[in-house]
Amino acid sequence: MPITCYGIAGSLILGCAPAILSGQVQPKAAPDSQTVVFVCEHGTVKSVVALAYFNQLARERHLNIRAISRGTAPDSAVPGKVREGLRLDGLQLGPFTPAEFTLADLTSAITVISFDQPKVAQLVGGRVPTAQWDGLPAVSDDYRIARDSIRHRVARLVDSLDRARRGKQNPQSQ
């Protein structure tokens, strides 16, 4: 099903009307936009796993884009199970303070991806593209299964951002 994305001023962003594949949307491409915002309820589980994998893959591909994690009702800390799972995967979360998702998070956002938080798209209000990665396995049930599901989607997102970057570097290839 095609979608249309609108920027902050409500104008159509060209190249942002692809079919939705597994809830993934083509992020808005703008030179000053360098953040992917992952939002889950507590801002400490699925969005943190997505943040850790996104930042690792973006670094490996030399993408000048970072991820942040936000919650609609943030917890006070990342659960030990999540930190330990990331550590065993070779990722260090480092100092992290859960934060509530606000419109200020959209300032440098190229896309907002929510996990089971349908009201996030309403809050974003078309300012940047959104995607819903709903119904993924619960981290509390099985970290590895949930992680693999999140990591797969994050890898597809990073691939699409990398393709977009390479296309801009070589416009003759289009």
* Domain CATH code at residue 151: 3.40.50.2300
**Is 165 part of any domain?**
no
- pLDDT recorded at residue 165: 81
Q: Is residue 8 part of a domain?
A: no
pLDDT at 172: 52
Question: What's the confidence (pLDDT) of residue 168?
Answer: 74
Predicted pLDDT of residue 94: 84
How many CB atoms neighbour CB 77 within 10 A?
A: 13
Nearest-CA neighbor of 42 among 79, 71, 1? Answer: 71
Residue 171: inside a domain, yes or no?
no
Residue 3 lies in a domain: no
In which domain, by residue range, is 114 found?
A: 37-158
Nearest to 65 by CA among 57, 76, 73, 75: 57
The tally of domains found in the chain comes to 1
Q: What is the pLDDT of residue 88?
A: 96
Is residue 151, in this structure, part of any structural domain at all?
yes
d(CA 161, CA 165): 6
Classify residue 141: in a domain, yes or no.
Answer: yes
C-alpha closest to that of 118 among 76, 169, 72: 72
Q: What is the mean pLDDT of each run of 10 residues along the chain (174 residues)?
A: 32 30 44 81 97 96 95 95 96 91 95 96 94 96 97 96 80 49
In a domain, 62, yes or no: yes
Give the pLDDT score at 170.
59
- Residue 13: how many other CB atoms lie within 10 Å: 18
CB 47 within 8 A of CB 105: no
Flag whether 110 is in a domain.
yes
